[in-house]
């Protein structure tokens, strides 16, 4: 084993209870890596907003997966990502993989902060997760008969399985040559689907009827749910860019890294239905 291979032995996973973090932790363990699964309330405590928790989580790790807890385009993300990355380098954690968002202009400052840290960095710009239909704030609607969201009816998205994101992250972290260092990987699923078509795949997998309803004024809907005005303004601005069609294309980066095609939405829906996700 070379020195570089030894340097990927222990991986810090931030957000280890989140949608991608827990899958990265599982994939890293399956790959034989030692995983330091960090979260605000876990055995390895890590809080982005409490720098005093950073050193213990970072010290002795060889690489880290960075998942910002709210949105990578949030106003405080760039400063915190940059500060954490610089501290990681100071403590000898040089290989850093950042979860970012495909087509999100608001995410660019955080990506730039990572680049300027001196780390051996890789950015994963990811399309909408397939898991948005089975986990998180939209899942309850999907369990019912109707999903109402801000995406236009004709908009097509290359939804990606978060498991594929996790496997790419681990492949990058354990790559002996540092092959993907300094790269932005653009991760998508294998095909473009409208939100209605994706919902129809869930309906087919569950044997139920479901209908997608595009919301012309998503801000008003959020206010109706009592979402604070500052958060409403951020989400409306964010979705105005992410849902304007700029991401209506697929890439080959999952295949380039993993040597196989990304998982399809139908595969995801059938697997999640069998696991009881929508019961």
Q: Cα 14–170–180 angle (5° rounding)?
A: 110
* Distance of alpha carbon 155 from alpha carbon 278, whole angstroms: 24
Q: Which domain holds residue 85?
A: 3-127+162-186+249-258
Q: Is 104 inside a domain boundary?
A: yes
* Distance of alpha carbon 47 from alpha carbon 25, whole angstroms: 17
Nearest Cα residue to 223 out of 236, 210, 213, 212: 236
Number of domains in the chain: 1
* Distance of alpha carbon 165 from alpha carbon 203, whole angstroms: 24
- Whole-model pTM over 0.75: yes
CATH number of the domain at 108, please.
3.40.50.720
Q: Is 70 inside a domain boundary?
A: yes
Q: Is 108 inside a domain boundary?
A: yes
Q: Is 77 inside a domain boundary?
A: yes
Q: Is 219 inside a domain boundary?
A: no
Q: Is 277 inside a domain boundary?
A: no
Q: Is 166 inside a domain boundary?
A: yes
* Distance of alpha carbon 204 from alpha carbon 80, whole angstroms: 42
What pLDDT tens digit does each residue of the chain (279 aa) get? 343 444 459 999 999 999 999 999 999 999 999 999 999 998 999 999 999 999 999 999 999 999 999 899 999 999 999 999 999 999 999 999 999 999 999 999 999 999 999 999 999 999 999 999 999 989 999 999 999 999 999 999 999 999 999 999 999 999 988 899 999 999 999 999 999 999 999 999 999 999 999 998 888 888 988 889 988 888 888 888 889 999 999 999 999 999 999 999 999 999 999 999 999
Q: Is 48 inside a domain boundary?
A: yes
The secondary structure of the chain, three-state, reads: CCHHHHCCCEEEECCCCCCCHHHHHHHHHHCCCEEEEEECCCCEECCCCCHHHHHHHHCCCCEEEECCCCCCCCCCHHHHHHHHHHHHHHCCCCEEEEEEECCCHHHHHHHHHHHCCCCEEEEEEECCEHHHHCCCCCHHHHHCCEEEECCCCCCEECCECHHHHHHHHHHHHHCCCCCCCCEEEEECCCCCEEHHHHHHHHHHHHCCCCEEEECCCHHHHHHHCCCCHHHHHHHHHHHHHHCCCCCCCCCCHHHHHHCCCCCCHHHHHHHHHHCCCCC
């Amino acid at each position: 084993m070379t020195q570089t291979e030894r340097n990927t032995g222990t991986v810090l996973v931030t957000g280890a209870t989140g949608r991608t973090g827990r899958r990265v932790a599982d994939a890293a363990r399956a790959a034989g890596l030692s995983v330091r699964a960090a979260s605000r309330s876990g055995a390895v405590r890590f809080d982005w907003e409490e720098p005093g928790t950073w050193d213990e989580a970072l010290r002795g790790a060889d690489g880290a997966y960075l998942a910002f807890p709210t949105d990578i385009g949030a106003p405080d993300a760039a400063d915190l990502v940059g500060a954490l990355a610089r501290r990681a380098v100071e403590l000898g954690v040089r290989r850093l993989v950042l979860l970012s968002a495909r087509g999100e202009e608001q995410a660019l400052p955080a990506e730039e902060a990572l680049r300027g840290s001196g780390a051996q960095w890789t950015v994963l710009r990811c399309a909408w997760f397939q898991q948005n239909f089975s986990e998180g704030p939209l899942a309850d609607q999907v369990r019912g008969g109707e999903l109402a969201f801000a995406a236009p009816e004709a908009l097509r998205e290359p939804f990606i399985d978060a498991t594929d994101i996790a496997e790419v992250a681990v492949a990058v972290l354990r790559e002996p040559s540092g092959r993907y260092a300094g790269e932005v990987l653009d991760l998508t699923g294998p095909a473009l689907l409208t939100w209605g078509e994706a919902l129809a795949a869930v309906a087919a997998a569950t044997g139920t009827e479901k209908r997608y309803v595009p919301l012309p004024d998503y801000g008003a809907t959020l206010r109706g749910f009592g979402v604070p005005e500052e958060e409403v303004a951020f989400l409306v601005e964010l979705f105005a860019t992410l849902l304007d069609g700029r991401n209506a294309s697929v890439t080959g980066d999952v295949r380039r890294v993993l040597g196989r095609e990304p998982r399809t939405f139908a595969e995801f829906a059938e697997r999640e239905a069998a696991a009881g996700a929508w019961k």
